[in-house]
Structure 1
């Protein structure tokens, strides 16, 4: 909720989808579910992804 209120965080940083619900902690960006899957495949050493709702 706090991250979502920051200007620019209403869209996925990668594809522009509305209301992203995941974040890459080390890249400091919010991403949608689909892009979060891509980030996870890159590995935690590249992008440490966490759910804004679950984690």
Structure 2
């Protein structure tokens, strides 16, 4: 019973780690896609539309 609980916890930990890595990657992509247009327009505004 103790081993079963430990293995269950280990599996849960592994799956949550994988989920967190994928979630972090997706979150970075989402944040990048959300911020990039504002950053680009800010850069073009600062350089007076030379970009």
Q: TM-score, normalised by structure 1?
A: 0.25
More helix by share: 2
Q: Higher relative contact order at CA 8 Å, sep ≥6: structure 1 or structure 2?
A: 1
| Higher Cα Rg, which structure | 2
More strand by share: 1
